[in-house]
């Protein structure tokens, strides 16, 4: 049993067998965590056999839990949240990486177990540590954390940390896709971080009074055949409250290897999109919605999205090592180019001062074309990205003036782990304070 007392398993199995509502008993979920941490197939089988009758489902859940443990290792239970009568969400922190995960426990209305899901989550303000620490200690701990990931061969890339225009940390780790060491000029895929270029392009057009954030699709693209999209506003597209879907989730979507996703491809996906809810009544991350923004940029500017971004962002900022992607992301860039972009944005060199302030707008779930996170007394904006060969972060700390750029050519979520660790170290509750030199 690898150190797990048999009594713990017996107690848990007994509670479930009696039909008790385990979502209300922290001890039961502590025991579930202990079961998970054994990484023992026999323990898993004993547990799932107590909550399931279907042998195939038992086998499937055992295999799922083994895969999860192999990926993240042992965990600590940090929070239990009853989401609904049938769902309980456990917040877990890994012992190996200090990273954060949600374990969703799903039952039927009679509290009989149905399924579970493990997914990464972001560092939350409720787990902020007490006592601010000095900058030198922050950088030292960040370096040690990244070295740990590099040693495990789960992170390769570049990390830049700056504050108020001064670069404090800028280092490269691991190799690029050609097997050569990463350096400051290495281009990385940005994945969804590239959405920031689409956002800035839209706001530039607003700056020039060529569109308004409250304009709807019907006004801007009257030739669009999919009239169900007409009521959607530009603001709703930027904040992912349009109700539109995601073409990456379409089984029929085939981007084609070696072929760039074109405006015609984007139009085809937009035309067949179906709303999941009435615009403005919910939140759903939508890559298709951002492709629609790309079509709007092309229609209003009279030029291709590539040409617009290159002329109005890359050339203006001096991003000489960057290459355009599509409206939903996928551009290529370097850590220094992204830092220059962030500095230009903060200095109102890409948008007017009035329009730059629009970026402080946010819904409960999202910012205006960017991620928005309230973390203690700090507000962090920017955007992350991830695909099979990229894991990226741009974090702009509004109050303390930090900028963090993480570009990685390894798959998620380890680049996001680095971002969260930096947040943990920079944003802390007041207490014994270190120097902010």
- Tell whether 102 is covered by a domain: yes
> Is the same domain home to 198 and 325?
yes
pLDDT for 342 beyond 50:
yes
pLDDT digits (tens, 9 = 90+) for 407-432: 999 999 999 999 999 999 999 987 65
In a domain, 259, yes or no: yes
Tell me what percent of the residues of the chain surpass a pLDDT of 70: 90
The residue among 284, 310, 330 that closes a domain is 330
pLDDT tens sequence across 19-58:
444 334 334 899 899 999 999 999 999 999 998 999 999 9
Which helix (DSSP H) or strand (DSSP E) does residue 198 occupy?
helix 195-207
Residue 92 CB partners (closer than 8 Å, separation 6+) = 33, 75, 76, 77, 78, 100, 101, 102, 103
What three-state secondary structure class fits 393? Answer: strand
Q: Which residues pair with 102 in a beta bridge?
A: 91, 119
Question: Do 113 and 228 fall into the same domain?
Answer: no
* Residue 171 located in a structural domain: no
- Given 78, 93, 121, the domain boundary residue is 121
**Cβ atoms of 215 and 233 closer than 8 Å:** yes
Same domain, 92 and 211: no
Query: 318 Cβ partners below 8 Å, 6+ apart?
Result: 340
pLDDT bin (cut points 50, 70, 90) of residue 6 is very low
Number of domains in the chain: 2
Query: Looking at the domain assignment, is residue 178 inside a domain?
Result: no
Phi, psi for 197 (deg, rounded to 5): -70, -35
- Of 237, 233, 207, 208, the residue nearest 368 (C-alpha): 237
206 lies in the same domain as 308: yes
Q: Indicate if 325 and 197 belong to the same structural domain.
A: yes
Closest CA to 415 of 395, 436, 388, 386: 386
- Domain residues for the domain of 22 are 6-121
Same domain, 116 and 218: no
- C-alpha 390/C-alpha 403 separation (Å) is 20
pLDDT tens, residue by residue, 126-185 = 999 999 899 999 999 999 999 999 999 999 999 999 999 999 999 999 998 888 999 999
For the chain, report the end-to-end CA distance as a whole number of angstroms: 50
Domain presence at residue 140: no
Averaged over 245-255, what is the pLDDT?
Answer: 74
Write down the pLDDT at residue 257: 54
Q: pTM of the entire structure? A: 0.88
Q: Residue 80 maps to which CATH number?
A: 3.10.450
378 within 8 A of 128, measured Cβ to Cβ: no
Same domain membership, residue 317 and residue 220: yes
Q: How far apart are CA 199 and CA 116, in angstroms?
A: 36
Q: Residues 186-201: pLDDT tens digits?
A: 999 999 999 999 999 9
Which pLDDT does position 25 carry in this prediction?
A: 37
- Looking at residue 135, what is its pLDDT? 93
**Residue 147, number of CB atoms within 10 A of its CB:** 12
Contact at 8 Å (CB) between 206 and 354?
no
Q: What is the CATH number of the domain that holds 273?
A: 3.40.710.10
Cα–Cα distance measured from residue 138 to residue 435, given in angstroms and rounded to the nearest whole number: 11
CA separation for the pair 90, 28 (Å, rounded): 12
Place of tokens 């060529």: 210
Residue 183, CA distances (Å) to 107, 159, 171, 188 in order: 49, 10, 8, 11
DSSP one-letter string for 85-143: SSEEEEEEEETTT--EEEEEEEE-TT--EEEEEEEE----GGGPPBS---HHHHHHHHH
For the chain, the average pLDDT equals: 90
Instruction: Tell me the pLDDT band of 4, cut-offs 50, 70 and 90.
Output: very low
């Amino acid at each position: 049993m690898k150190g797990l007392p048999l009594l713990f398993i017996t107690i848990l199995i007994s509670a479930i067998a009696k039909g008790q509502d385990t979502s209300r008993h922290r001890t039961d979920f502590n025991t579930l965590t202990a079961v998970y941490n054994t990484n023992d197939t026999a323990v898993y089988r004993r547990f799932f056999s107590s909550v399931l009758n279907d042998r195939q489902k038992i086998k499937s859940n055992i295999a799922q839990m083994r895969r999860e443990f192999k990926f993240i290792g042992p965990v600590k239970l940090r929070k239990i949240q009853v989401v609904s009568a049938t769902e309980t969400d456990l917040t877990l922190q890994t012992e190996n990486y200090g990273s954060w995960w949600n374990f969703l426990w799903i039952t039927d209305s009679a509290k009989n177990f149905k399924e579970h899901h493990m997914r990464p989550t972001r560092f939350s303000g409720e787990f902020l540590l007490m006592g601010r620490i000095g900058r030198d200690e922050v950088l030292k701990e960040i370096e040690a954390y990244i070295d740990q990931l590099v040693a495990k061969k789960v992170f390769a890339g570049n990390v830049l940390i700056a504050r108020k225009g001064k670069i404090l940390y800028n280092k490269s780790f691991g190799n690029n896709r050609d097997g050569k060491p990463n350096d400051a000029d290495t281009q990385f895929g940005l994945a969804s971080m590239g959405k920031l270029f689409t956002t800035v392009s839209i706001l530039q057009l607003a700056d020039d009074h060529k569109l308004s954030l409250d304009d709807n699709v019907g006004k801007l693209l009257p030739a669009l055949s999919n009239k169900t999209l007409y009521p959607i506003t530009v603001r709703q597209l930027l904040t992912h409250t349009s109700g539109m879907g995601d073409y990456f989730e379409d089984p029929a979507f085939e981007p084609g290897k070696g072929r760039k996703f074109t405006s015609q491809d984007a139009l085809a996906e937009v035309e067949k999109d179906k709303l999941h809810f009435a615009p403005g009544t919910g939140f759903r991350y939508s890559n298709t919605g951002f492709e629609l923004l790309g079509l709007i940029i092309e229609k209003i500017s009279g030029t291709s999205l590539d040409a617009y971004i290159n002329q109005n962002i890359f050339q203006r900022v001096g991003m000489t090592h960057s290459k355009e992607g599509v409206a939903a992301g996928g551009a290529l860039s370097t850590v220094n180019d992204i830092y220059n972009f962030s500095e230009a944005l903060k200095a109102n060199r890409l948008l007017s001062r009035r329009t730059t302030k629009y970026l402080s707008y946010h819904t409960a779930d999202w910012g205006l074309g960017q991620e928005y996170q309230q973390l203690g007394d700090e507000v962090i904006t920017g955007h992350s990205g991830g695909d099979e060969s990229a894991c990226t972060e741009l974090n702009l700390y509004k109050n303390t003036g930090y900028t963090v750029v993480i570009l990685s050519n390894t798959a998620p979520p380890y680049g996001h782990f680095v971002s969260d660790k930096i947040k943990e170290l920079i944003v802390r509750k007041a207490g014994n304070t270190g120097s902010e030199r």
